[in-house]
Amino acid sequence: MGRQLRVVHHTGYHYAGRIGASHNEARMTPRATREQFVQATRLDITPVAWTHSFVDYWGTQVTAFEIAEPHTDLEVVATSTVDVGDRLSVGSRVAWDEIREVKFVDQQVEMLTIVDHVDPGSEMRRWALDAARQADCPADAVTAIIGRIRDRVAYVPGSTEVSTRASAVWDRRAGVCQDLVHLGLGALRTVGIPARYVSGYVMPSATPVVGEGQTAESHAWLQYWDGAWVGVDPTNDSAPGDFHVEVGVGRDYFDVPPLKGVYAGSQASDLFVEVEITVLA
């Protein structure tokens, strides 16, 4: 069973004063995958900007844009209609020996590297290694490790910042979806399971009314390798389904932020974000 969803993502910056120019990248266009078909999508930028679109190294659609005139506000509105089908929730249960082959490890090295902001800390690393030793296959280890993270870390909006490290989230026992994913990435990579970050959206209501917009926000989950990329949503303690819309993939959040850039001037800036999702069919 599939869904047709419309996503309107409105974001940008309010500057404290006039700035001279800005250079930005937006990753707000849903991906075309085996589970989702993009019916229509557009990106509206104010002020009018020079734009260039490309697919980055990880397979995410990027719109780079430049505003050369002085401005006090930047607004970006991404409007997309996406058909989402059933997502792969189980893999082929590959064996440990398969993911430990030298050639495979070399191919997946980018999704096995543990950098500081996804390092789960010594306690979680020890627990993950112990869970892996007891698991018959990597998929069983994933279930145990993600379950442990969900038991330990509560989803608490506003409890962390973008720069908060996974190890600090583990110690605080609270975080947001990005943090839960970063913890999962670090723990799975610790035991040799390739894992990648997925950015996108999820319908906030389990029983939405067709045609009635729901206030939502950007969301994140992860995918691990089990003969194919299999999704896990630690925040919702479930596999991603037909209410999830995938936008970008990468090693971690910093590969897929919805909007990032630089601007000329010393004025402070405030980021704003509004997301609305509507079930069309």
Q: What integer pLDDT is reported at residue 149 of this predicted model?
A: 97
Q: Are residues 132 and 242 in the same domain?
A: yes
> Residue 104: is its pLDDT beyond 60?
yes
Q: Are residues 15 and 153 in the same domain?
A: no
- The three-class DSSP label of residue 159 is coil
pLDDT in tens, 110-152: 999 999 999 999 999 999 999 999 999 999 999 999 999 999 9
Q: Are residues 177 and 208 in the same domain?
A: yes
Q: Are residues 140 and 266 in the same domain?
A: no
Exposure string over 87-107, b if 16+ CB within 10 A, otherwise e? bbeebeebebeebeeeebeee
Stretch 198-209: mean pLDDT:
95
Neighbour tally for 183: CB within 10 Å: 31
Q: What integer pLDDT is reported at residue 266 of this predicted model?
A: 80
**Predicted model pTM:** 0.95
> Residue 2: is its pLDDT beyond 90?
no
Stretch 150-163: mean pLDDT:
94
Q: Are residues 249 and 275 in the same domain?
A: no
Decide if 213 contacts 126 (C-beta within 8 A): no
Q: What integer pLDDT is reported at residue 202 of this predicted model?
A: 96
> Residue 200: is its pLDDT beyond 70?
yes
Beta strand 154-155 pairing with 174-175 = parallel
- Grade residue 62 by pLDDT with cuts at 50, 70 and 90: very high
Decide if 224 contacts 188 (C-beta within 8 A): yes
How far apart CA 48 and CA 266 sit, in angstroms, is: 22
Identify whether 90 is part of a domain. Answer: no
> Residue 1: is its pLDDT beyond 60?
no
Mean pLDDT of the chain: 96
- The three-class DSSP label of residue 55 is strand
Identify whether 198 is part of a domain. Answer: yes
Q: Is the peptide bond before 204 cis (omega within 30 degrees of 0)?
A: no
> Residue 211: is its pLDDT beyond 70?
yes
DSSP secondary structure letter of residue 184 = H
> Residue 225 corresponds to which tokens in the numbers above?
């390798």
Q: Are residues 264 and 249 in the same domain?
A: no
Q: Which residue segment(s) compose the domain that 163 sits in?
A: 96-255
Q: What integer pLDDT is reported at residue 113 of this predicted model?
A: 98
Identify whether 152 is part of a domain. Answer: yes
Q: What integer pLDDT is reported at residue 87 of this predicted model?
A: 86
> Residue 148 corresponds to which tokens in the numbers above?
């442990």
> Residue 86: is its pLDDT beyond 90?
no
Stretch 11-23: mean pLDDT:
95
Stretch 164-185: mean pLDDT:
97
> Where residue 63 sits, what CATH number does that domain have?
2.60.40.2250
Q: Are residues 224 and 214 in the same domain?
A: yes
- The three-class DSSP label of residue 243 is coil
How far apart CA 231 and CA 246 sit, in angstroms, is: 11
Give percent of the chain with pLDDT exceeding 90: 95
Q: Are residues 70 and 161 in the same domain?
A: no
Q: Are residues 182 and 266 in the same domain?
A: no
Three-state secondary structure readout of 236-262: CCECCCCCEEEEEEECCHHHCCCEEEE
Q: Are residues 116 and 130 in the same domain?
A: yes
Identify whether 214 is part of a domain. Answer: yes
Beta strand 61-67 pairing with 22-26 = antiparallel
How many domains is the chain built from? 2
